Amino acid sequence: MKKEINPHDTTRGSQFEIWRNAPNPMLTFVKKLDVTNLVKASKKKNLKFNMLLDYCIGKAALDQKEFYLLPEGDKLMQFDKIAINTIVKNRTGEVSSCDIEFTGDFDRYHHDYMKYTTEVAQSCIDRDLSDECMVIGTSTIIDTELEFAGGMYSGIFNNPFIIWGRYSKHFFRYHLHLSFQFHHTQMDGAHAGRFLKNLQTYINII
């Protein structure tokens, strides 16, 4: 669940004051990831590549305290859980949104991913956990390889958001470019850099 906290009781108090009224407080980092291990695991174990990458994203975020804080208007909210959002192509050919709680347990996440993405695809009803979890948004553009995905700031959603396209093969390695957008109140560039470094580590060892 989430609760409102005093920003100055956290390490993000000064950043909250600086960025809460900024016209665009979002930053976007782009990193080239080596996803060779994910591709091999996906094929060997017959697992969805995007599920594996979402799992690694959750693992990289799980122990980083900045991911449990999120500005909402003039308030700073603290969460005790996180979730990964994935965009699902539904039965009408359009897309729906599916939030899946993340605890770090692979078997549970795999089960929930397959269960809830299937339900959302069939019902065309979004699954929203934003009142319970700090949600990390993800979106996959499977039709093309991406070099860069620019940030979007609606003024409504401040959640971190991650976009990637198809992976590409060069010799015996697979790579993709991943775009990570985050609110500057939530974290600084160094925190984002650590998250992306840890993401690559989890991809390498899953």
> How would residue 21 be classed by pLDDT, with cut points 50, 70 and 90?
confident
- Picking from 65, 49, 56, 12, the residue whose alpha carbon sits closest to that of residue 196 is 56
Window from 10-14, 53-57, 98-102, 147-151 with minimum mean pLDDT: 147-151
Does 204 score more than 90 pLDDT? yes
Q: What is the mean pLDDT of residues 73-100?
A: 96
Does 122 score more than 80 pLDDT? yes
Does 155 score more than 80 pLDDT? no
Instruction: For residue range 26-85, list pLDDT tens digits in order.
Output: 999 999 999 999 999 999 999 999 999 999 999 999 999 999 999 998 999 999 999 999
* % pLDDT > 90, the chain: 86
Structural domains in the chain, CATH included, are 2-7+23-205 (3.30.559.10)
Q: Are the beta carbons of 79 and 70 closer than 8 angstroms? A: yes
Does 152 score more than 80 pLDDT? no
CA dihedral 26, 167, 128, 119 (to 10 degrees): 170
pLDDT, residue 52, reads 98
> How would residue 153 be classed by pLDDT, with cut points 50, 70 and 90?
confident
Q: What is the pTM of this model?
A: 0.95
